[in-house]
Structure 1
Amino acid sequence: MKLLQFKVADQLRLGVKTINGVLDVAKAAAELKQQTPITIDKVIQSGEDALRALEVLVDKVQGMGEAKYFLNEDAIEYAPCVSNPEKIICVGLNYINHAAESKMDVPKVPILFSKFNNALAGHKDVVHLPVAAQKFDYEAELVVVIGKTAQNVSPAEALSYVFGYTVGNDLSARDLQFRTGQWLLGKTCDQFAPVGPYIVTADELPDPQNLDIKCKVNGVLRQSANTRDMIFNCATIISYVSHHMTLKPGDIIFTGTPDGVIMGYPESQQEWLKSGDEVVISIENIGTLINKLQ
Structure 2
Amino acid sequence: MHVVTTPTGLCRIEDGAAALLDTAFPHVGAVLEQEGSLQCLASCAVRRRIPLDEVTLTAPLGRPRAVWGVGLNYVSKAARTGRPLPEQPILYLAASSGVCAPGAHVVVPRTTTEPDYEGEIAVVVGRRLYQATEAEIWPAIAAVTAANDMTAREVMRTTGIPALAKSYPGFTPLGPSLRTPDDLADRDAIRVRTRLNGTLLQDDTSAGMIFPIPDLLSRLSWFAALEPGDVVLTGTPAGTGQDRACFLADGDEVRVEVDGVLPLVTRVVRPSDASPRDHRLTEPVG
Q: Name the TM-score class by shorter chain.
A: 0.7 to 0.9
After superposition, residues 207-222 of structure 1 pair within 5 angstroms as 207-222=186-201
RMSD: 1.9
Q: Is 1:188 matched up with 2:176?
A: no
Q: Is 1:55 matched up with 2:42?
A: yes
Q: Mind listing any 5+ residue stretches in structure 1 that lack a counterpart? A: 30-35, 62-67
In the alignment, which of 233, 238, 263 is matched to residue 242 of structure 2? 263
* Residue 139 (structure 1) aligns with: 118
After superposition, residues 9-20 of structure 1 pair within 5 angstroms as 13-19=9-15
Please state how far the C-alpha of 1:152 moved relative to its aligned partner.
Answer: 0.6
CA spacing shift, 1:185–1:103, aligned 2, 3 Å: farther
* Residue 29 (structure 2) aligns with: 41
Please state how far the C-alpha of 1:206 moved relative to its aligned partner.
Answer: 7.2
Please state how far the C-alpha of 1:208 moved relative to its aligned partner.
Answer: 2.2
* Residue 292 (structure 1) aligns with: 267
Q: Deviations over 1:252-275 (max 9, x none)?
A: 00000000111112xxxx221111
How far apart, CA to CA, are the structure 1 residues paired with 2:104 and 2:26?
23
Q: Is 1:152 matched up with 2:140?
A: no
Q: Secondary structure, in 3 states, of the residue corresponding to 1:41?
A: helix
TM-score (norm 2): 0.87
Please state how far the C-alpha of 1:194 moved relative to its aligned partner.
Answer: 0.7
Q: Deviations over 1:227-253 (max 9, x none)?
A: 100000000011011100100000000
Q: Secondary structure, in 3 states, of the residue corresponding to 2:159?
A: coil
CA spacing shift, 1:249–1:6, aligned 2, 3 Å: same
Q: Is 1:283 matched up with 2:258?
A: yes
How far apart, CA to CA, are the structure 1 residues paired with 2:76 and 2:255?
21
Identity among equivalent positions (%) equals 26
* Residue 22 (structure 1) aligns with: 18
Please state how far the C-alpha of 1:18 moved relative to its aligned partner.
Answer: 1.6
TM-score (norm 1): 0.85
In the alignment, which of 72, 75, 86 is matched to residue 54 of structure 2? 75
* Residue 169 (structure 1) aligns with: 148
* Residue 4 (structure 1) aligns with: 4
Preserved CA contact (<8 Å) 2:63 2:97: no
Please state how far the C-alpha of 1:143 moved relative to its aligned partner.
Answer: 0.3
After superposition, residues 113-132 of structure 1 pair within 5 angstroms as 113-132=92-111
Q: Is 1:205 matched up with 2:184?
A: yes
In the alignment, which of 75, 81, 102 is matched to residue 96 of structure 1? 75
Preserved CA contact (<8 Å) 1:145 1:165: yes
CA spacing shift, 1:127–1:255, aligned 2, 3 Å: same
CA spacing shift, 1:6–1:84, aligned 2, 3 Å: same
Write the letter of the residue equivalent to 1:47: G
How far apart, CA to CA, are the structure 1 residues paired with 2:249 and 2:50?
33
Q: Secondary structure, in 3 states, of the residue corresponding to 1:42?
A: helix
Q: Secondary structure, in 3 states, of the residue corresponding to 2:254?
A: strand
Q: Secondary structure, in 3 states, of the residue corresponding to 1:208?
A: coil
Task: From the CA coordinates, give the structure whose radius of gyration is larger.
Answer: 1
After superposition, residues 215-230 of structure 1 pair within 5 angstroms as 215-230=194-209
